[in-house]
A and B are shown apart, each in its own frame.
Chain A
Amino acid sequence: GDSVTQMEGPVTLSEEAFLTINCTYTATGYPSLFWYVQYPGEGLQLLLKATKADDKGSNKGFEATYRKETTSFHLEKGSVQVSDSAVYFCALSDRGNTGFQKLVFGTGTRLLVSP
């Protein structure tokens, strides 16, 4: 079945450092790809998405490009802030056997940014 693999954390960075969180996927068909973020005590929030190959999703300085040839959707940010400290989840949408979307998640990567 479909699956998502992302790098284990925690990822510890200093403020203004460059961030990469790797994500690769296995899927039949052409899924949509998502990054969700979970801040402490809150639910999962959509950070960005890409719905077809070569699409770039971006939001709040984060970017990820849907690479079909490498089955990857790596998350990047040029300069992280302390407020970016959270858990980041890579996910793909699987339309399931009824045609409705369900999400397949990676394990999540905790990011810790220090001042």
Chain B
Amino acid sequence: EPEVTQTPSHQVTQMGQEVILRCVPISNHLYFYWYRQILGQKVEFLVSFYNNEISEKSEIFDDQFSVERPDGSNFTLKIRSTKLEDSAMYFCASTVQGSSYNEQFFGPGTRLTVL
């Protein structure tokens, strides 16, 4: 059964360093998302991506964040200069269509720890 994969499963970095979180969505999906969950808090929407551009982003998704689909299979989230408060679990998701009825398929997440 097709699934969304994410690498690495756990990333530890120093404050101020750049990190890239990688996701491979399901191959025929067209809409891609990043969410994050700070420990003990809600899963929060970060950004949605369609047709090689951002379709919507949240207030969290500031200039330090960027997304890219560099090669037609990977979907990456880059944080340019990490802060302590970026420590969280980051989930990638994809779906065939952007309709509110369609299931989003999630990856297992990357736990980011910023020291």
A residues bordering B, Cβ < 8 Å? 4, 31-32, 34, 36, 41-46, 49, 51, 89, 91, 93-108
12 contacts between A and B (CB under 8 A): A41-B108, A43-B3, A43-B6, A43-B108, A43-B109, A98-B56, A100-B55, A101-B98, A101-B100, A106-B42, A107-B40, A108-B43
From A42, A49, A98, A103, B35 is in contact (CB under 8 Å) with: A103
B residues bordering A, Cβ < 8 Å? 3-4, 6, 31, 33, 35, 37, 40-45, 48, 50, 55-56, 91, 93, 95, 98-109
Considering the chains assembled together, what is the distance between the CA atoms of A102 and B42 in angstroms? 14
Considering the chains assembled together, what is the distance between the CA atoms of A107 and B37 in angstroms? 9
Q: In the assembled complex, which residues on chain B have CB atoms less than 8 Å from the CB atom of A102?
A: 33, 45, 48, 56
From B3, B43, B45, B107, A89 is in contact (CB under 8 Å) with: B43
From A42, A94, A106, B108 is in contact (CB under 8 Å) with: A42
Considering the chains assembled together, what is the distance between the CA atoms of A31 and B101 in angstroms? 9
Considering the chains assembled together, what is the distance between the CA atoms of A96 and B48 in angstroms? 10
Q: Would A101 and B43 count as touching, CB distance under 8 A?
A: no
